[in-house]
Amino acid sequence: MTASASIDTHCPYCALQCAMSIDNGKVSPREFPTNRGGLCQKGWTSAELLTSPARLTTPLVRRDGELTPATWDEALDLVADKLGQLRQAHGPDSVGVFGGGGLTNEKSYLLGKFARVALGTSQIDYNGRFCMSSAAAAGMKAFGLDRGMPFPVTDLDRADAILLVGGNPAETMPPFVQHLKNAELIVIDPRRTPTAELATLHLQPAPGTDLALALGLLHTAVADGHLDREYLAERTTGFDDAWRIAATWWPERVERVTGVPVADQRAAVRILAEAANAYILTGRGTEQHASGADTVSAWINLALALGLPGTKYSGYGCLTGQGNGQGGREHGQKADQLPGYRKIDDPAAREHIMNVWGVDDLPGPGRSAYELLDALGQPDGPKALLVFGSNVIVSAPSSQHVADRLAALDLLVVCDLVLSETAAVADVVLPITQWAEESGTMTNLEGRILLRQVAVAAPEGVRSDLDVLRGLATRLGQPAERFPTDPETVFEELRLASKGGTADYSGVTYERLRQGEALHWPVVQESTPRNFLDRFAHPDGLARFIPVEHRGPVEMPDAEYPLQATTGRVLQHYQSGAQTRLVAELNRAEPEAYVEVHPDTATRAGLGNGAMAAVVSRRGRTVARVRCVPSMRIDVVFLPFHYAGDGRANLLTNPVLDPTSRMPEFKVCAVRLESV
Partner 1 sequence: MRNVVIVGYGMAGARLADEIRRRDPKAERVSLTVLGDESHPAYNRVLLSSVVAGSLTPEAVRLHDPDWAAKHHVDLRLGGTVTKIDRTRRVVHVDDTEVPYDALVLATGARSWVPPTPGLLDGNGALAPGAVAFRSLDDCARIVEKASPGTPVAVLGGGLLGLEAARGLAGRGCLVTVVHPVGHLMERQLDAGAGRVLATTLNGLGIEFRLGVLATKYVPGDGLELDDGTHVPADLVVVSAGVRAETGLAEQAGIEVDRGILVDDALRTSDPRVHAIGDCAQHVGTVSGLVQPAWEQAAVLADRLTGVAPAARYAGTTVVTRLKARDVDLAALGDVHVPVDSVDDEVLCFQDPARGRYAKLVLRDDKVTGAIVLGAPDAAAAITQLFDRGLPAPTDRLALLLGRALPAENEASPADLPAAAVVCRCNTVSKGQLVSAWRGGATTLSAIAEVTRASTGCGGCKDAVCGIVDWLAASQPQSA
Name the residues that contact partner 1, by CB under 8 A.
29, 37-41, 44, 170-171, 174-178, 194, 198, 206, 222-225, 240-241, 243-244, 247-248, 250-252, 255-256, 259-264, 557, 571-572, 589, 598, 600, 603-604, 630-631, 634-635
CB 586 to partner 1: min, Å: 8
Nearer to partner 1 (CB atom), residue 160 or residue 224: 224
Nearer to partner 1 (CB atom), residue 122 or residue 601: 601
What CA dihedral angle connects 504, 505, 507 and 511, to 10 degrees? Answer: 170
End-to-end CA distance of the chain: give it in Å, rounded: 47
Mapping DSSP to helix (H, G, I), strand (E, B) and coil, where does residue 10 land?
Answer: strand
CA 608/CA 532 separation, integer angstroms:
53
Packing angle of the helix pair 292-305, 133-143 (nearest 10 deg): 40
CA 577/CA 395 separation, integer angstroms:
9
Nearer to partner 1 (CB atom), residue 157 or residue 264: 264
- Enumerate residues 6+ apart whose C-beta is below 8 A from 355: none
CB 255 to partner 1: min, Å: 5
Nearer to partner 1 (CB atom), residue 302 or residue 335: 302
CB 631 to partner 1: min, Å: 7
- Enumerate residues 6+ apart whose C-beta is below 8 A from 264: 201, 203
Side-chain-side CA neighbours of 615 within 13 Å: the count stands at 35
Closest CA to 189 of 669, 641, 649, 636: 636
Asked whether the beta carbons of 259 and 205 are under 8 A apart, the reply is yes
Query: Hey, which residues does 257 pair with through a beta bridge?
Result: none
Cis peptide before 522 (omega within 30 of 0): yes
Query: Hey, which residues does 61 pair with through a beta bridge?
Result: 68, 428
Q: What is the DSSP string of 18-56?
A: -EEEEETTEEEE---TTTTT---HHHHTGGGGGG-TTB-
Q: Where are the alpha helices (DSSP H) in 410-555?
A: 465-475, 487-498, 510-514
CB 598 to partner 1: min, Å: 7
- Residue at 276: amino acid letter: A
Nearer to partner 1 (CB atom), residue 246 or residue 458: 246
Nearer to partner 1 (CB atom), residue 177 or residue 496: 177
Nearer to partner 1 (CB atom), residue 20 or residue 60: 20
CB 223 to partner 1: min, Å: 5
Any idea what DSSP says for residue 596? E
Nearer to partner 1 (CB atom), residue 263 or residue 408: 263
CB 635 to partner 1: min, Å: 5
Closest CA to 258 of 304, 225, 220: 220
CB 194 to partner 1: min, Å: 6
Q: In Å, what is the CA distance from 475 to each residue of 76, 83, 103, 481, 609? A: 8, 10, 23, 13, 56
CA 269/CA 295 separation, integer angstroms:
17
What CA dihedral angle connects 88, 89, 90 and 94, to 10 degrees? Answer: -60
CB 229 to partner 1: min, Å: 12
**CB-count burial class (<10 Å; 0-12, 13-18, 19+) for 89:** exposed
Nearer to partner 1 (CB atom), residue 227 or residue 651: 227
Asked whether the beta carbons of 294 and 211 are under 8 A apart, the reply is yes
Q: In Å, what is the CA distance from 558 to each residue of 323, 360, 447, 669? A: 38, 55, 43, 11
Closest CA to 14 of 283, 319, 323: 323
Nearer to partner 1 (CB atom), residue 254 or residue 417: 254
Nearer to partner 1 (CB atom), residue 255 or residue 421: 255
Query: Hey, which residues does 96 pair with through a beta bridge?
Result: 385
CA 415/CA 388 separation, integer angstroms:
5
Nearer to partner 1 (CB atom), residue 557 or residue 655: 557
CB 281 to partner 1: min, Å: 16
CB 174 to partner 1: min, Å: 4
Nearer to partner 1 (CB atom), residue 202 or residue 405: 202
CB 290 to partner 1: min, Å: 17
CB 185 to partner 1: min, Å: 12
Nearer to partner 1 (CB atom), residue 172 or residue 502: 172
CB 11 to partner 1: min, Å: 12
CB 170 to partner 1: min, Å: 7
